[in-house]
Chain A
Amino acid sequence: MSSRYLRVAGVFFSLLGVACQREERDLRPAPTRLAMPGPAARESLLQPGGPQETLTPVNPAEGNGYAISEGQRLFNAYNCSGCHSHGGGGIGPPLIKDVWIYGNDPAVLFDTIVKGRPNGMPSWGGRLPEYEIWQIVAYIRSLNNLEPKSVTPTRSDSIEQNSHTLTPPPEPKPQ
Chain B
Amino acid sequence: MTAFPALLAAQSALEPGGGNASRILRLGQGVVLLLAVIFIAVMILSVIPLMRRHRGIEQEPLERRHQPSEATERKLTMVVGSAVGATVVILLGLVVVSVVVGKSISTAAMPSNAITVEVTGNQWWWNVRYMNNDASKIVVTANELHIPVGRPVVIRGMSNDVIHSFWVPGLQGKRDLIPSRVNTEWIQADRAGFFRGQCAEFCGLQHAHMAMWVVAEPEDKFDAWLSHQAQDAAAPSTEELQRGQQVFLGSACILCHHIQGTDAGGLVGPDLTHFGSRMTIAAGTLANDKGNLAGWIADPQGIKPGTKMATVPVKSEDMQPLIDYLESLQ
A residues with CB within 8 A of B = 25, 27-29, 31-34, 73, 77-78, 127-129, 131-132
A-B contact pairs, 22 of them (CB 8 A): A27-B301, A27-B306, A28-B299, A29-B301, A32-B311, A32-B312, A32-B313, A33-B313, A34-B252, A34-B313, A73-B308, A77-B256, A77-B268, A127-B251, A127-B255, A128-B252, A128-B310, A129-B252, A129-B310, A129-B311, A129-B312, A132-B310
Rounded to whole angstroms, the CA-CA distance of A31 and B299 in the bound complex is 11
Which B residues touch A128, using CB under 8 A?
252, 255, 310
Rounded to whole angstroms, the CA-CA distance of A41 and B139 in the bound complex is 47
| 8 A Cβ contacts from B276-310 to A | 299, 301-302, 305-306, 308, 310
Min C-beta distance of B112 to chain A, whole Å = 39
Rounded to whole angstroms, the CA-CA distance of A129 and B312 in the bound complex is 6
In the complex, how many residue pairs between chain A and chain B have their CB atoms under 8 Å apart?
A: 37
Looking at chain A's contact residues, the main secondary structure is loop
Across the interface, A28 reaches (CB within 8 A) one of B255, B256, B311, namely B311
Min C-beta distance of A132 to chain B, whole Å = 6
Which B residues touch A78, using CB under 8 A?
255
Rounded to whole angstroms, the CA-CA distance of A128 and B305 in the bound complex is 19
Min C-beta distance of A2 to chain B, whole Å = 43
Which A residues touch B310, using CB under 8 A?
128-129, 132
Min C-beta distance of A14 to chain B, whole Å = 29
Which A residues touch B311, using CB under 8 A?
28-29, 32, 129, 131
Across the interface, A25 reaches (CB within 8 A) one of B256, B302, B306, B308, namely B306
> A26: nearest residue on chain B (CB-CB)?
B301
Min C-beta distance of A83 to chain B, whole Å = 15
Min C-beta distance of B117 to chain A, whole Å = 24
Contact of B268 with A28 in the complex, beta carbons under 8 Å: no
> A132: nearest residue on chain B (CB-CB)?
B310
Rounded to whole angstroms, the CA-CA distance of A158 and B255 in the bound complex is 25
Rounded to whole angstroms, the CA-CA distance of A34 and B268 in the bound complex is 20
Min C-beta distance of A67 to chain B, whole Å = 12
Residue among A31, A32, A78, A129 with max Cβ neighbours from chain B (10 Å): A32
A29-B311, A32-B313, A77-B268 known; A127 and B252 CB under 8 Å?
yes
